[in-house]
Amino acid sequence: MLIKELPALAGEATTLVWAGDDSRAEELLAGLLNGQDGIRRLPYDPDGTDAFDTDTLVVAFAGPDLAADQLAATLRRLAPGGRVVLLLGWPVDELPYHVLLDPLVEAGCQVLQAVPVDRANRHGVHCAVVAARVERLAPLRSYLDDSPITLGGAEPELRTLLRLTGEHLFGDLVARPLRRQLADLRDRVDTQQKRIRELEAAVRTADAKVAGLEERHTAVQEKLATTRAKLATAQERLTQLRSSTTFQVGYTIVEGARRPARALVSVPTGLVRAWRNRG
């Protein structure tokens, strides 16, 4: 159900009182009263004692920071037949409904309808409860009934109440292990998410190491290329030096000094060769 459909579900109302946190009032009322031009908003005095009449729809937001005493005081100001819409900030599967039932029952209110609310990511309202202060039990409604709520009609008979109490006990019997399984699954999901975060951190560390190694490899490659260029230059200069006339003359004289017996032949021959190869 859309949040803007809740006032129509609660029944006819000409005025509305926001009894929740003022910081969220404008945001939620903009969605709630979208297209509801016939409803006038009245101011709310949390310290007041005047009763809200049956033409006034009381709206409040209840979430994890719920002040149960303040909610109970607001509900007690409902006149018999007065209605309240509680916008709930808990996901349906996490709803601590006992926290809401205590102030509702204490104020003599009957829960008439509980519905999930669409687009919770926009306004933070996951579900809503419509209740009314009653002096006798109002007719029971089915889950899929989205017609406007009325308090008239025959009071549920004993057989209906017996069935309801039985369904509540059987439903709780079935739901408890499911809630336990859900809690176990959430624990497993939390553990897996923690493990995933650890693995992601390890991957980031490994990536950083690889990046460091790649930088070092690049630096070594650049240094090796520079060294090879220097070696090639040195080899070229050495080749030029060895092919020079000065080097050949010097080499011939040194070799002649090392081998005097052969110098008489090798030195003149080497000098002639150097002379021919000059230039």
Q: How many CA atoms lie within 13 A of 242 on its CB side?
A: 6
Q: Are strands 56-62 and 109-116 parallel, antiparallel or unpaired?
A: unpaired
H helix intervals, the chain = 6-10, 25-32, 68-76, 97-106, 120-123, 158-242, 245-258, 260-276
- What is the distance between the alpha carbons of residues 252 and 185, in angstroms, rounded to a whole number? 93
Choosing among 2.40.50.180, 3.90.1150.10, 3.40.50.150, 3.30.2130.30, the CATH entry for 3-153 is 3.40.50.150
Picking from 113, 100, 91, 105, the residue whose alpha carbon sits closest to that of residue 134 is 105
- Two tokens, residue 248: 């050949």
**pLDDT tens digits, 8-62:** 899 888 899 998 777 778 888 888 888 677 788 888 888 888 899 999 999 998 8
Lowest pLDDT segment from 26-35, 94-103, 231-240: 26-35
On whether the CB atoms of residues 133 and 78 are closer than 8 A, the answer is yes
On whether the CB atoms of residues 106 and 72 are closer than 8 A, the answer is yes
On whether the CB atoms of residues 182 and 165 are closer than 8 A, the answer is no
**pLDDT tens digits, 140-174:** 887 778 888 888 878 888 888 888 878 787 778 77
Give the H or E element holding residue 62. Answer: strand 56-62
pTM: 0.65
Q: Which amino acid is at 173?
A: L
**Cα–Cα–Cα angle for 142, 53, 124, rounded to 5 degrees:** 55
Strands of the 15-18 sheet, one edge to the other: 40-42, 15-18, 56-62, 83-88, 127-133, 109-116
Return the pLDDT at 54. 92
Domain boundaries, the chain: 3-153, 157-242, 243-276
